[in-house]
Amino acid sequence: MTQAEYFDGQSALSQNVRVHIEGTSLVIESSKAGPALARWLLHDVRWISGTDKPILSSASAPDARLILMDISLADELAERYPELKGNVPTAKSQKTHKKAWTYGLAAAALTIAIFVAVPWLSGPLAQIVSEDWRKNLGRQSVEQIETLLGKRCENEPGQTILTNMANQLVGHLPDPETLHVGVIDNRMVNAFALPGGYIRFMRGLIKEANSPDEVAGVLAHEIGHVALRHAEEQTFRQLGYEIVLSTIADSGALTEIAASAGVQLISAAHSREAETAADLLAIDLLKKSDISRKGMVTFFDRIEKMEGKSPKILKYLSSHPATGERKKTAEANIDSGKAALSDADWQALKKICD
Amino acid sequence: MTDHSDTENPSASGQHIVQGSSEFHGLSREIIWLVIKNFLLNIVTLGFYRFWARTNVRRYLWEKMHIFGSPLEYTGTGKELFLGFLMIILVVFVPVAVINVAIGSLGPTLHPAVAGTYSLLVTVLFFYLIGVATYRARRYRLSRTRWRSIRAGQTGKGWTYGLWQLLLSSLMLFFALILPYKNMKLWRIKMQNTHLGDRFFVFDRDGAARQTLVTLYLSYAVVAIVVIMVYALPFIAVAMTLGLEVFSGTMSEAQIQAQVELNLQNNSGLLTMFGMVWPVSLVIFAVGMAWYKLKETRLLVGLTSFEDLKISFDATLLSFFWLYLGNIMIVLLTLGIGFPFTQVRFARFLANHTNIEGQLDLGTINQSADDDLTSGEGLAEAFDMGAV
């Protein structure tokens, strides 16, 4: 016999009742004398909730509620219907608190695995993917970018001059790969390396450059990215983070901002490393090709002026190393060397988009 | 809290007349393992568990919220949320995407006016749907809420509410002063349609709405004047350092540029002014709007009643500020995974600052007909409007 509070499903008023199991039914009787108020078949009984006191309902009377004052009846029901046990706060289910630790450890392990493993795995993955896959990815990205930013400039002999310059530089790599170098008709001062050896300059950069050495410096830097497979690595990293982000970005805009800010910081740190590595390789390639490193220095110098004096915090957020730092790296390795292009070739390259 | 002595009345069993307050008994640490489980399952299911995750958290929040000693009950399911989401993707987003593709491929042959009208229509449609979504999501949550076995609910049409919201919000574009009226109107629609069992909430029983609107307008005017003054400061700062000519339009861009450069070199304080004034003005704007919003909420809640109960809300700006600051910290430090903890804090905040005066005769409240909602919050889910 268990004391309970009973709502008949019609009114907000409740009644004090006594509850007991009789055969296959749960019998609900008023504490005062009188006939049973309700009989619920045991297999109709549903657990509604019960962190404090178990609350029951019945499939036959879904609006009715029965709040048990005594947990023993709940234990008895759970015994008879083991399938209900998971939802019942019986004495036995206190074990779930132990489970919490297991979940906690698993979550911590997974979080670490993701934030450490994604960057850690994407590097080696980028090295082992097949040539075809990389070239395909690169071709697709280039097509997309060219529809967004502008058509390719293919004026001769500018294109051939650029290709030759790239081949000369890449020839000094132990394992030279086929490059696809081009210029996009866009006024931005920029250049980038895509997967599969695709390198694109913006027209703005060629126009803005004061000497062929500057173009050679940037080209060597992008070849550095290609050789180190940075674009491929970036693709894998992005993919990994996107999977993680899609799972936690569930709770509104603030969460998404916080999460992507975290990822932004991690990947910015990563790209800074990548940029420095590409710089070092570029210096090596320029040296071996006997091209003056001065162009690289003067170019970084000018970028710094264009950027102005931005606060230090931007250094941590931006994906490129602070240009001051880059200049030092390049300057430390400055050496004599010949000009990257003859005057005539340089003038021809400048006209690649005209 | 109220100073009623009988708030600790765990079950009002057998009683006809009840009184007391709202109390929230939940604790963040009680849901730690739930939050972790939800996070893990979200990862494994690529985010699709979110509907069930949200339901689990709600079930906890509801059953820890006690009104007059009796807990709320949440009967919604993850499946309903998921189906609602799927339905909206099919009914709204797929057609719009198909039309977009069609328009895109016809692009060059279409008259620019046609394409322009279309994109305007789609924008308006989406604004309208956000209003509808807000209303329907509220209806779903209420219809899945029970107190003392009695279902709550919301009547009225989401489509009508959406029209009101669209109309009043677009008027805001031309006439920002409509805000207090707009918010009162929308609150009135929501409250008058809210019911517990067969009894409806009442807005403005004592006919004080007009007087309240006047008070709201005065508060709004104060905020507006402060905000306008603060926004004018940067311009005044510029005018003071560079001279008024910069606004006259007679100077070329290069000349202004040169003036700025000169001032920067002389370190005449322009940079500091600009650097300081904008963040300060933003903060003042945010604080001003929070102050107004809180005042509005207090007044609108005060106009709302249920049977013989009068409800009031007494949160102060400072307590609101602490709640918000704490919640931001939680979200940032847990990368958003701990969002449900902020919901627990919010629920406690609501319960602690809501007072209920008067007595309620339980015998007058009876079950109403079942709401025929079969799926939930589809629109709101699709617009990613994760509410409490």
Q: Residues A62, A182: one domain?
A: no
Q: pLDDT (tens digit, 9 = 90+) per residue, A93-114? A: 444 455 556 656 655 655 665 6
Query: Could you give the CA distance from residue B347 to residue B336 in angstroms, rounded to a whole number?
Result: 18
Per-residue pLDDT tens over the stretch B20-46: 889 999 888 888 888 988 888 877 777
Cis peptide before A157 (omega within 30 of 0): yes
Cross-strand pairs, A182: A200
The answer to the question of residue A99 being in a domain is: no
pLDDT at A86: 45
The chain B residue lying nearest A47, using CA atoms, is B75
Q: Where does the pLDDT of residue A192 fall: very low under 50, low under 70, confident under 90, or very high at 90 and above?
A: confident
Q: Taking CB atoms and an 8 Å limit, are B13 and A106 in contact across chains?
A: no
More confident residue, B303 or A90: B303
Question: Taking residues B103-116, what's their average pLDDT?
Answer: 70
The domain of A214 spans 116-350
Q: Let me know whether A136 and A265 are in one domain.
A: yes
Most B-contacting residue of A18, A65, A69, A251 (CB-CB within 10 A), to test interface = A251
Instruction: Establish if A131 belongs to a structural domain.
Output: yes
Q: Record the pTM.
A: 0.63
Averaged confidence pLDDT in chain A: 76
Of all residues in chain A, the percent with pLDDT exceeding 90 is 5
Residues A331-338: contacts with CB within 8 Å, 24+ apart?
A331/A297, A333/A283, A333/A287, A333/A293, A334/A293, A334/A294, A334/A297, A335/A287, A335/A292, A335/A293, A336/A292, A337/A286, A337/A287, A337/A290, A337/A291, A337/A292, A337/A293, A338/A290, A338/A291, A338/A292
Q: Is the pLDDT of residue A5 over 70?
A: yes
What is the distance in angstroms between the Cα of B65 and the nearest Cα belonging to chain A?
A: 12
Q: How many structural domains are present in chain A?
A: 2
Q: What is the ipTM of this complex?
A: 0.74
B130-142 confidence digits (pLDDT tens)? 888 888 888 889 9
Claim to verify: residue A328 and residue A209 sit in the same structural domain: yes
Q: Taking CB atoms and an 8 Å limit, are A259 and B73 in contact across chains?
A: no
Instruction: Give the gap in angstroms from C-alpha B51 to the nearest C-alpha of chain A.
Output: 10
Tokens of B4: 């009623």
Q: Give A51's contacts in chain B (Cβ within 8 Å).
A: 30, 60, 63-64
Do A12 and B332 count as a contact with CB atoms less than 8 A apart?
no
Take residue A268 and report the two structure tokens written for it. Answer: 């910015």
Confidence band, pLDDT 50/70/90 cuts, at residue A251: very low
- Does one domain contain both A37 and A120? no
Residue A52 shares a structural domain with residue A138: no
Per the DSSP assignment, residues forming a β-bridge with B150 are B147
A96 touches B at CB < 8 Å: yes
Res A240: pLDDT: 76
Nearest to B13 among A11, A14, A106 (CB): A14
- Mean pLDDT, residues A58-63 taken together: 86
Catalytic residues of A: 222
User: Would residue A153 count as lying in a domain?
Assistant: yes
Rounded to 10 degrees, the C-alpha dihedral A87/A93/A99/A104 comes to: 70
Q: Side-chain half-sphere of B376: how many Cα atoms within 13 Å? A: 24
Query: For residue A275, what pLDDT is reported?
Result: 81
Asked if A9's CB is within 8 angstroms of B33's CB, the reply is no
At residue A276 the predicted structure's pLDDT band, cuts being 50, 70 and 90, is: confident
Residue A83's pLDDT is 61
Q: Check residue A232 and give its pLDDT.
A: 86
Whole-number pLDDT of residue B98 = 78
The alpha carbon of A303 is separated from its chain's Cα centroid by a whole number of angstroms, namely: 29
Same domain, A199 and A333: yes
Helix (H) / strand (E) element for B285: namely: helix B270-302
Q: Is the pLDDT of residue A241 over 80?
A: no
Q: What is the CATH number of the domain that holds A31?
A: 2.30.29.30
pLDDT band at A51 (very low <50, low <70, confident <90, very high): low
Contact B46 A13 (CB under 8 A): no
pLDDT at position A89, please?
Answer: 40
Tell me which of A40 and A297 has the higher pLDDT.
A40
B341-373: per-residue pLDDT in tens? 999 999 999 999 999 999 999 989 999 876 666
User: Which positions ≥6 away from A188 have C-beta within 8 Å?
Assistant: A149, A202, A204, A205
B42, A248: Cβ pair inside 8 Å?
Answer: yes
Together in a domain, A81 and A227? no
The residue of B57, B66, B149, B196 whose CB has the most chain A CBs within 10 angstroms, and thus the best one to mutate to test that interface, is B149
pLDDT of residue B200: 95
For residue A100, tell me if it sits in a domain.
no
Local confidence band at B224 (pLDDT 50, 70, 90 cut-offs): confident
Binning pLDDT at 50, 70 and 90, where does residue A258 land?
A: low
Alpha carbon distances (Å) from B330 to A88, B149, B326: 31, 35, 6
**Helix, strand, or coil (residue B303):** coil
Answer yes or no: do A137 and A210 share one domain: yes
Cβ-proximal residues to A110 (8 Å cutoff; 6+ apart), any chain: B40, B43
Half-sphere exposure in the Cβ direction for A189 (13 Å, CA):
13
Phi then psi for residue A186, to 5 deg, are -150, 140
How far does B189 lie from chain A, in Å, by closest CA? 26
Q: A245 with A326, same domain? A: yes
Residue A203 tokens read as: 């027209």
Of the partner residues A103, A247, A256, the one whose CB lies closest to the CB of residue B46? A247
CB–CB contact A49 B365 (8 Å):
no
- For position B297, what pLDDT does the model report? 93
Q: Among the listed ranges B17-26, B260-269, B287-296, which one has the minimum average pLDDT value?
A: B260-269
Residues of B in contact with A65 (CB under 8 A): 73, 146, 148-149
Task: Express each pLDDT in B41-71 by its tens digit.
Answer: 877 777 788 888 998 899 999 989 999 989 9
C-beta of residue A26 within 8 angstroms of C-beta of residue A80: no
What share of chain B in percent tops pLDDT 90? Answer: 32
Q: State how far Cα A46 lies from the chain centre.
A: 43
Q: Are residues A147 and A228 both part of a single domain?
A: yes
